[in-house]
Structure 1
Amino acid sequence: MTDTQLRGPTVVDRRSTTSTLTFLGATGTVTGSRFLVESGGTRLLAEAGLYQGLRELRRRNWEPFPVPAREIDAVALTHAHLDHTGYLPRLVRDGFSGPVYCTPETASLAEIVLRDSAHLQEEDARQANEGGWTRHAPALPLYDTADVERTLPLLAPRAFGQREAVGAIDISMAPAGHILGSAVLTVDAGGHRVVFSGDLGRGGHPLLLAPAPPPAADAVVVESTYGDRRHPDPAPDLLGRAVRRTVERGGSVLIPAFAVDRTELVLLELYRLTEEGLIPRLPIYVDSPMALAALDVYRRAAHAGSPQLRPDRAGALDALERLDLHHVRDAAGSEQLNTPHQPCIIVSASGMATGGRVVHHLSHQLPDPRNCVVLTGYQAAGTRGRQLLDGARALKMHGCYVPVRAEVVDVPDFSVHADADELVAWLASAPALPRIVYVVHGEAAASAALARRLEQELGVCAVAPRLGERVRLD
């Protein structure tokens, strides 16, 4: 990829009468979602995601944004995950001051996610400087806590179905069924409509209802995280067998889990396995202040009767307290879990082991063959989770390599991303097929595979755009 492609082109003049869409992220990768819609002098950024994973991708977070931040009129978010929200504080640091539209639940969760992101970046920079493993002098965070605190007042919650005018552009949101508050974003610009799927959920989510069908649109921008594969049939005892094996050899189970939504689903499955006698009653430690705060948001939504939640699962989260559940909020309690004194289960963030407390646990527990690490979701290229999934025999953490002797088990049942069949079915459920589908937010092979299927099975024009590519909406 050339330097010009990495930076993206110069964005069209505000005086242009043409409505355009520019792909500023999430092309050829599952991270860094950023899409610019321009119409009638208005600039709307759909998503403001952080790049994660491979070093060459993470470097893009530091590159000058192709559009001056102060010239963006508004941002619209589909949900709270870091690869869709984590660039916001950097935009604010660079001059953005407009509204950030999202659902109320996304606003609540984004507050938790962004504060944690700034804290981790500050800690990583501090540790790199103290440990001497940085190439920079000194290492700096992409943004800090003060930037996040300037960002949070810009969050502008809007209900599902509510239309909002942003200059010459109108937006609205419908449930996406991925995590609490996740939305399919509809953007009307210059008499044309583009729909952004965000991350699309599945019909079998243990807590959330299925995504709403897409509206009729000229163009759809659809994710392709699992665009080249189908989810395997559920394996109800895969996690249970891993836990039992680990306990028999006197080890502990470490579960890297995304703090938002994934931790809830892991705990629900551990509750089921315990209640059915498939695993012994063990101490279960949730070692993530962010995950605990997100769990509170989910519980409040359940108690309020949120229409996003399955009615038959209203009391599921309250039942978790019947487990031997321990909430670990302080650093001292987390450090004690690095070397557990008895078999236990530790659920800790982050889900791809890119940072957070789970990295410390991995560095202590991976060398012990009695232990087990359970991966519970998509592992992006370049992450420690992906390295473990691919069979790495050593991981580099905090400047040192650590041998991987613990058992590593992949449990794909927890994925809340639609697979290829579900993505095709979702697009087919629209009242009218779009003129074109842009396939994004997937590794290159996954995006290309989904584009081929959409052309072959639905007869629509489908392309995987390039980074920095601009297209007209008319």
Structure 2
Amino acid sequence: MLQVDLQGGFGEKGRTSVVVSDGNTCVMLDAGIKVGATGDEYYPVLARPIGEIDALFISHAHEDHIGALCHLLRQGYTGPIYMTEETRTEMPATLAQYADPADLADFSPLVEQIRLFRPGEALTVGALSVATGASGHVVGGVWFSVEAAGQRVVYSADIVPESAVFPMQPLPVCDLLILDASYGADPIPGAERAGQIGEWVVGYADGCLLPTPLSGRSLELIAAINVPFAIEAGMREALSAQIHAPDAVHKDRVAILSQRLKSARDWTVDEPLPSCPLLVHDGMGVAGPSRPALEAAEKSGFPILLSGHLPAGSPGARLVDEGKAAWIRMPTHPTLPENIALWEAAGRPRLIGHSCDAAALEALRQHIPALMAGARTGDTHQIDEETTHAHSDFQ
């Protein structure tokens, strides 16, 4: 019998984390932080003593999936940490921005703890078989499938079934699907949103600011922009590595993205804002070069387009609320038709949505009745019982 502990990201966006156990072996899938939260709400709610976790698996290097890694090590986790090569490469920059500085200084992951795998590889921890697959969300990003004694839990992490840039491998049939519900019941296809962003940028081709995460959405934006643009100079090496990582980008997009990146102008934070669209990281204005860039853009009235999740209280959210920035979502998570198709392909299993609030979950349940919209961080789910022991309206 498999047990699933929801440690973060359920009924909320951020601190995404799940534990799956067969009673003898426990694996933790992701360890994120919640941007804008403080104290205990910043980190996952650990469902069991840290010494009971036999292995930690990280899906990708965005802060809401890896930002609590040093915190876990401070709590005493000494086991293996599984991730792809691309996630390992991007990890230091994310931890530098979002880990507690003291934790980062004293409890950075040890080289010998990290175990590398490629998307599509299957791994074994005790009696648990952990399959992986490319997520379509970022280079090196993966979903996880945990199986034992004929039962299977699939945790999608962040996925994009129809990305214009990144391929995604199909999710397997399962008994319980923990699905990326970031967009709730939003039905607008990614291609349509990308077209809207491309048109907006053309209208401000003589200068605008595009804050974006270093991995994932940056390449999606570059694919959508068909005018000369600039990038923060420190992004170039990472973006080039993402484009040319083995099997990480659709083959017909590699040459196009490579040429657009090669033609992009370098910009640094001590320079005036350029007379062309400018990509800077991160996407919320919380950290990285985007924070000073947004400050400069606000002071000068430079056009700003935000294109992803904006936590309450973040600089990006404030600018949108005050009418000083535009917002058009660049889909880097599944839209409604994609999530319905994913659920049906997985055999129409019981479903738990992660990375969205209660209202969005309830809206999604109107389209997928198997969704347990009451699932919340701190709940426990037994697959064979299909009940919770922590939340009365879980189903």
TM-score by length of 1: 0.73
Partner of 2:104: 144
Say which of 245, 248, 251 aligns to 1:311: 251
Using the TM superposition, give the Cα deviation of residue 294 of structure 1 relative to its aligned residue in structure 2, in angstroms. 2.7
* Counterpart Cα distance in 2 of 1:373 and 1:443: 26
Do structure 1's residue 420 and structure 2's residue 357 form an aligned pair?
no
Deviation at 1:45, TM superposition (A): 0.7
Question: For 1:273, which of 215, 218, 227 is the aligned residue?
Answer: 227
Q: Secondary structure at the match of 1:362?
A: helix
What is the aligned partner in structure 1 of residue 288 from structure 2? 356
Contact 1:193 1:218 in 2 (8 A): yes
Match of 2:360 in 1: 446
The superposition leaves residues 389-417 of structure 1 with CA deviations (integer Å, 9 ceiling, x where unpaired) of 3x226xxxxxxxxxxxx5x22232x3221
The structural deviation recorded for 1:62 is: 5.8
Aligned to 2:143: 184
Q: Which amino acid is the alignment partner of residue 378 of structure 1?
A: H
Flag structure 1 segments of 5+ consecutive residues without an equivalent. Answer: 1-17, 123-140, 275-281, 394-405
Question: Alpha carbons of 1:378 and 1:35: their partners in 2 closer, same or farther (altered >3 Å)?
Answer: same
Q: Matched residue of 1:91: which SS? A: helix
Mapped to 2, the partners of 1:235 and 1:102 lie a distance apart of 30
Q: Secondary structure at the match of 1:255?
A: strand
Which amino acid in structure 2 is aligned with residue 298 of structure 1?
Q
Q: Does 1:437 pair with 2:381?
A: no
2:124 alignment partner in structure 1: 165
Larger Rg: 1
Q: How far did 1:361 drift?
A: 2.0
**Which shows bigger deviation, 461-470 or 219-228?**
461-470
Residue of structure 2 in register with 1:131 after alignment: none
TM-score, normalization by structure 2: 0.87
Match of 1:228 in 2: 185
User: CA separation in 2, counterparts of 1:345 and 1:246?
Assistant: 6
Residue number in structure 1 paired with 2:166: 208
Measured on the aligned residues, the alpha-carbon RMSD in Å equals 2.6
What SS does the aligned partner of 2:367 have?
helix
- Give, in whole Å, the separation in 1 of the partners of 2:48 and 2:237: 34
* CA distance in structure 2 between the aligned counterparts of 1:266 and 1:368, rounded to whole angstroms: 24
Q: How far did 1:31 drift?
A: 0.9
Q: Report the equivalent of 2:305.
A: 374
Q: 1:323 Cα shift? A: 2.3
What is the CA distance between 1:238 and its match in structure 2? 4.4
Structure 2 matches for 1:455-466, cutoff 5 A? Answer: 455=369, 460=370, 462-466=372-376
CA deviation string 1:300-356 (max 9, x = no partner): 31xxxx334212122123202552421x5xxxx42x23x43x524332121011222
Amino acid at match of 1:23: L
Partner of 1:84: 65
Aligned match of 1:387: 318
Contact (CA 8 Å) 2:2, 2:148: kept in 1 or not?
A: yes
Q: 1:237 Cα deviation (Å)?
A: 6.0
Q: Residue type of the partner of 1:312?
A: D
**Identical columns (%):** 23
**Cα distance, 1:420 vs. partner?**
1.4
Give yes or no for contact 1:74–1:166 (8 Å, CA) kept in 2: yes
Stretches (4+) displaced over 6 A: none
Aligned residues: 382
Matching residue's letter, 1:392: E
Query: How far apart, in 2, do the equivalents of 1:362 and 1:186 lie?
Result: 39
Q: What secondary structure sits across from 2:124 in the alignment?
A: strand
Distance 1:105 1:356, change over 3 A: closer
Give the match for residue 236 of structure 2: 292
Counterpart of 2:322, as a letter, is A
CA separation in 2, counterparts of 1:116 and 1:362?
Answer: 17
Q: Structure 1: which amino acid aligns with 2:184?
A: G
> Do the aligned residues in 1 keep the contact of 2:7 with 2:44 (CA within 8 Å)?
no
Correspondence for 2:152: 193
